């Protein structure tokens, strides 16, 4: 994913060209009523070797979201978050800190970059028949576990194609969006963990 930087910018000042691209992505996403994305989640070591690859879907509605991925499900009604581990039949419950540093799906697709990151446009590349703009983001908060995010934006569709997080520990993980629907028909109740649908589930409430 990395390639030669075409323009050097002041690390304490964001690139206006990058902002135009990110703003267009955010504006388009905000027109969606209850979007659903299918994605591939990949974890790599510092040398770029794939350690695991999983496929999943994420559905969003306002500040609510639901993620389904191999062996796990995540529910959030915007106030509470439930992490369900299928292999252990265990769900962990916690409060949702919207104002915190957690990268929710909504933040990933909208203007998460505005207040928390410096960003610059690295250039363009072609992948899978798509023309992609690569934007490099550096977190202002140095206590975050990652030190860089590289976002690839589909220039034609104004949507995020891929986001790669580089961790301080040397590892990296990425999300590639395989498809994106602007609307689904999920009810509000579908974003809340329903214990009755998971017989014998152990509940670990950390609130």
In contact, 64 and 188? CB cutoff 8 Å: yes
Helix (H, G, I), strand (E, B) or coil at 79: coil
Query: What is the token pair recorded at 132?
Result: 């992609």
Q: Residue 173 and residue 42: Cα distance in Å, rounded? A: 6
Helix (H, G, I), strand (E, B) or coil at 133: strand
Residue 40 in domain = yes
Residue 2 in domain = no
Give CA separation, 100 vs 96, 97, 104, 115, in Å.
Answer: 9, 5, 10, 12
Could you tell me which of 187, 186, 183, 185 has the C-alpha nearest to residue 32? 183
Residue 1 in domain = no
What are phi and psi for residue 119, nearest 5 degrees? Answer: -145, 150
Q: Residue 193 and residue 90: Cα distance in Å, rounded? A: 12
Give mean pLDDT, residues 48-75.
Answer: 93
Residue 148 in domain = yes
What is the pLDDT at residue 185?
87
What is the pLDDT at residue 144?
86
Residue 68 in domain = yes
Return the CATH number at 91: 2.50.20.10
Residue 86 in domain = yes
Helix (H, G, I), strand (E, B) or coil at 190: helix
User: Average pLDDT over the chain, rounded to whole?
Assistant: 88
Q: Residue 202 and residue 148: Cα distance in Å, rounded? A: 36
The per-residue pLDDT for range 4-29, each reduced to its tens digit, is: 333 333 445 788 999 999 999 999 99
Number of domains in the chain: 1
The per-residue pLDDT for range 145-189, each reduced to its tens digit, is: 889 999 999 999 999 999 999 999 899 999 999 999 999 988 999
What are phi and psi for residue 197, nearest 5 degrees? Answer: -85, -5
168 is in which domain, residue-wise? 16-205
Query: What is the token pair recorded at 115?
Result: 């207040």
The per-residue pLDDT for range 76-91, each reduced to its tens digit, is: 999 999 999 999 999 9
Q: Residue 112 and residue 107: Cα distance in Å, rounded? A: 5
What is the pLDDT at residue 100?
54
- Asked whether residue 62 carries a pLDDT value surpassing 80, the answer given is yes
């Amino acid at each position: 994913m990395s390639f030669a930087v075409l323009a050097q910018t002041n690390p304490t000042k964001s690139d206006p060209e990058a902002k135009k691209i990110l703003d267009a992505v955010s504006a388009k996403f905000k027109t969606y009523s209850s979007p659903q994305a299918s994605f591939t989640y990949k974890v790599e070591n510092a040398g770029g070797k794939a350690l695991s690859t999983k496929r999943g879907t994420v559905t969003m509605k306002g500040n609510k979201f639901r993620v389904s991925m191999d062996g796990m499900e995540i529910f959030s009604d915007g106030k509470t978050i439930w992490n369900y581990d299928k292999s252990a039949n265990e769900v962990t419950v916690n409060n949702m800190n919207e104002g915190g540093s957690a990268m929710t799906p909504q933040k990933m697709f909208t203007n998460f970059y505005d207040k928390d990151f410096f960003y610059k446009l690295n250039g363009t590349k072609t992948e899978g028949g798509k023309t992609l703009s690569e934007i490099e983001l550096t977190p202002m908060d140095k206590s975050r576990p990652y030190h860089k995010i590289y976002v690839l934006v589909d220039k034609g569709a104004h949507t995020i194609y891929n986001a790669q997080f580089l961790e301080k520990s040397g590892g990296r993980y990425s999300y590639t969006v395989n498809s994106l629907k602007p609307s689904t028909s999920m009810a509000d109740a579908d974003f809340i963990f329903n214990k009755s649908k998971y017989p014998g589930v152990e509940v670990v409430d950390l609130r």
